[in-house]
Amino acid sequence: AQSVSQHNHHVILSEAASLELGCNYSYGGTVNLFWYVQYPGQHLQLLLKYFSGDPLVKGIKGFEAEFIKSKFSFNLRKPSVQWSDTAEYFCAVNSAGGSYIPTFGRGTSLIVHP
Amino acid sequence: NAGVMQNPRHLVRRRGQEARLRCSPMKGHSHVYWYRQLPEEGLKFMVYLQKENIIDESGMPKERFSAEFPKEGPSILRIQQVVRGDSAAYFCASSRQGRAFTEAFFGQGTRLTVV
């Protein structure tokens, strides 16, 4: 069975600080990887995804994530956060060609102070 | 994409009562997924439905929980005889196609509180 670990449960940053949220998964086969964001009071939205190809994936709002297969990781980064990035961030994985239903991590709550 | 509508947004039930959570998918979407988020835990998959069919219910508790997605109307997640441990946020997502989760869109969730 696949599983996802998000190590940072709560992150507090000041505006303009750099962000990196960790995500590790456990699954022996080929995977698809996702980051979702949930802004306060809103629904989950897809931030970015990795299926294949370039392991550095760029998403919306200046976010990017890098797939490192040898480390089973898919960390989310942003060079300079804004107050509007305050949200809950979820990493998810599904097995390519297998169970297409993603497994989600616990989530990371990000608070950005102006 | 505010098209996936969940209601109610907040639901309070006493222990032993029934809870009914509704999910209206986006127009043109015939696949619905239900997830549960317990406090301090991630989103846990519960069930995947197509119109009039349950495709995958591997995440559903064996007792008290059921789900349906009729030909007409919203998908319903039903929890009978609720207990305090059922308190959680319940999210649904819908997609136009099956096996294409990245095209799925989430609702805002229903927060169930059992008192």
pLDDT, tens digit, 9 for 90 and up, residues B63-78: 999 999 999 999 999 9
- Nearest residue in B to A97, CA atom: B99
Asked if B89 contacts A36 with a C-beta cutoff of 8 angstroms, the reply is: no
| Burial annotation B77-115 (CB, 10 A radius, 16+ → b, else e) | bebeebeeebbbbbbbbbbeeeeebeebbbbbbbebebe
> Hey, of B9, B36, B43, B47, which one would you mutate to test binding to chain A, going by the most A CBs within 10 A of its CB?
B43
CA angle, A46 then A50 then A81, to 5°: 55
User: In terms of CA atoms, which chain A residue is nearest residue B4?
Assistant: A43
Tell whether A56 lies on the interface with B, counting CB pairs under 8 A.
no
- Tell which wins on pLDDT, B43 or B113: B113
What are the φ and ψ backbone dihedral angles of B103, each rounded to 5 degrees? -95, 5
**Any A CB within 8 A of B39 CB:** no
For residue B101, give the nearest of A101, A105, A106 by CB distance: A101
Does B2 score more than 70 pLDDT? no
pLDDT at B95: 87
Contact B100 A49 (CB under 8 A): no
Comparison of pLDDT for B99 and B83, the residue scoring more: B83
> What residues in A contact B102, CB-CB < 8 Å?
32, 34, 46, 49
pLDDT surpasses 50 at B1:
no
Q: What's the pLDDT tens digit per position in A56-97?
A: 999 999 999 999 999 999 999 999 999 999 999 999 998 776
The answer to whether residue A95 neighbours chain B at the CB level (below 8 Å) is no
Specify which residues B25 forms β-bridges with: none
Q: How far is A100 from chain B (nearest CA, A)?
A: 5
Q: Report CB contact under 8 Å: A106, B44.
A: no
- Report the relative pairing of strands B53-56 and B110-114 from DSSP bridges: unpaired
pLDDT tens per residue, range A54-64: 999 999 999 99
CB contact under 8 A, B45 and A100: no
